[in-house]
Chain A
């Protein structure tokens, strides 16, 4: 997890302040500003298939309140959403729909697999004929958060992880490589 520590958590704005007489200048790269903006403005698609969706609602509720991070602008239209939280089981009939939703989203887009079902089929791993054994067979997934369902704090944790990932500006393969090393 050193990688996560490297990108020091919650800087208000990316960049270094150079002190000059009578004030300071913030020096930053365009990339890091864009990544900062993207990571702090993740609008989820209101998409839930089953039980995990209820915990997603709980995360939106007053006690956990994901609006603190700016996530509360849940869009019903995939065109305007940035992150799709797969909350619940994906079955064979739903799989093409999920793919289509993902395709309808505008780039850049991110995916969080919430709960055992979305990661691997979870409770419905054995002896079912209709469940997709992991949403990453259909669309690429950025962050996995296990649990059945994961509690709201866990979902928040996965969103923070996603923010860190975006701030890092690396591809999936690069991140995988870094973690191995």
Chain B
């Protein structure tokens, strides 16, 4: 059975044996810092890929699948590119704050890692006010966002940052209430004790209705706090282009991008700890054998499993719901999550019930598509080229068919040139002398400028001798525009006998 429990003790013993205690502590700090940074990078890569795959499957398509096996390296490529990309700073921006903001957001994420128990006895800092620490530090991220919005000197950024400020500050409250429920149930603020209290059943099961309501509150509040749809007003793509990070590019944008996913991970990890017992395996009353089997699964797997389940839930929300409007967002918080409005209980309950039913209906639909991969309708273009079903009528380009003797049927009557509305076709004629000495008009070149052609078919209809037709070719992309001017008659070709 693999477990992380022993590793920390072993490392500590070994370090203490080799160095003096101060030194050992310093080395431990370095190790922890390195570990958390790499955890960040890996989590970022995995979560972004996961999001893209989940989105794709909900949206009946395949998602990234060409870079590396199954698209595994997609996010690696993205990250590398972002690192290598130019980082712009707008001219009138407040340079210092502008550059600082992404690091503040990132740092908050880092700080929040400290009290999370990744496995049994595998925790950076088991502080005795763990829950308080989390609520206070997590509200710091709004400072980074406000900084970014203000320093960018961009009105969209400013609006986005302001929205984000209002949102995070108000949703802190209901998140706090939800967390307090568990604190009251446990009687402690320490993360390890909260987990230990769930030894014989997770709070979501044994906490009855209060815990369930608290969980729902918590999920809604943290979705809002991490600026995720349906609460992604701070970025609201269709309204504010990219919200507070509109002006960011390159590495600094990557930090914001990463921080979003790290924050999701953290809030889900905390959710899993508070409501689903963290690394605690699933134990049911006195089913000894069952509990024993469950114990065999390593605690880190339990923790990650629960966390990723919650992450999936939040992603599922994002790809199902429309965004709320800014006043509705605050209404939801102050009137429904914290019902301090003077409202009849009946009205409140019916409102909540109808709302939740309609949302669940939507989630059922998207969930159906997520689980039914046979509904995916994606055609994989470059791979399916050979079998690509295309209408033979498709107007892709004008061609002039030639037969085996390199003969065509174009008489050079210029009907197509006259019919063409934008001068795509030019007929260049010459006079040929036949063996009998008669002069005859023939084409020298039928110049066709594919770059201009609108595929309107008028030339084909106009042609009296069916010399040209539409071909369903479409792979015309070139690096050089001059390549798109073509001569349709093949070199050395001539008109077929008997065509006048």
Direct contact of A and B (CB under 8 A): yes
Residue from the list A70, A120, A146, A176 in contact with B480, Cβ < 8 A:
A176
Are B62 and A68 touching (Cβ within 8 A)? Answer: yes
Are A122 and B451 touching (Cβ within 8 A)? Answer: yes
Q: Is A119 an interface residue (CB 8 A)?
A: yes
Q: Is A108 an interface residue (CB 8 A)?
A: yes
CB distance from B433 to the nearest CB of A (A): 36
* Interface members, chain A 60-97 (any B CB < 8 Å): 61-65, 67-70, 72-73, 75-77, 79-80, 82
CB distance from B132 to the nearest CB of A (A): 37
CB distance from B294 to the nearest CB of A (A): 37
Of the stretches B73-81, B169-177, B220-228, B404-412, the one at the interface is B73-81
Are B377 and A63 touching (Cβ within 8 A)? Answer: yes
Check A147/B396 contact, CB under 8 A, given A12-B73, A122-B451: yes
Are A108 and B85 touching (Cβ within 8 A)? Answer: yes
Of the stretches B240-248, B266-274, B314-322, the one at the interface is B240-248
Residue from the list A69, A104, A134 in contact with B481, Cβ < 8 A:
A134
How many A residues face the partner with a CB closer than 8 A?
A: 65
Of the stretches B15-23, B339-347, B358-366, B452-460, the one at the interface is B452-460
Are B474 and A37 touching (Cβ within 8 A)? Answer: no
Q: Is A172 an interface residue (CB 8 A)?
A: yes
Assuming A34-B84, A77-B246, what are 8 further A-B pairs, CB within 8 angstroms? A37-B81, A65-B61, A72-B52, A106-B85, A116-B452, A144-B451, A153-B475, A179-B480
B-to-A contact residues, CB < 8 Å: 52, 56, 59-69, 71, 73-74, 76-82, 84-88, 237-238, 241-242, 245-250, 253, 376-382, 388, 394, 396, 421-423, 449-455, 474-481, 483-484
Alpha-carbon distance between A33 and B82 when the two chains are bound, in angstroms: 13
Alpha-carbon distance between A121 and B394 when the two chains are bound, in angstroms: 22
Q: Is A10 an interface residue (CB 8 A)?
A: yes
Are B481 and A136 touching (Cβ within 8 A)? Answer: yes
Residue from the list B64, B452, B455, B476 in contact with A125, Cβ < 8 A:
B452
CB distance from A118 to the nearest CB of B (A): 10
Are B478 and A106 touching (Cβ within 8 A)? Answer: no
Residue from the list B67, B80, B84, B379 in contact with A63, Cβ < 8 A:
B379
Are A151 and B394 touching (Cβ within 8 A)? Answer: yes
21 contacts between A and B (CB under 8 A): A12-B68, A37-B80, A38-B81, A40-B66, A40-B77, A65-B378, A67-B61, A70-B66, A70-B71, A79-B88, A80-B245, A106-B250, A116-B452, A119-B452, A122-B452, A122-B453, A136-B481, A147-B476, A150-B474, A154-B474, A154-B476
Q: Which A residues are in CB contact (< 8 Å) with B476?
A: 145-147, 150, 154, 157
Residue from the list A63, A106, A134, A146 in contact with B86, Cβ < 8 A:
A106
Q: Which A residues are in CB contact (< 8 Å) with B253?
A: 79-80
* Interface members, chain A 119-170 (any B CB < 8 Å): 119-126, 134, 136, 141-148, 150-154, 156-158, 160-161, 165
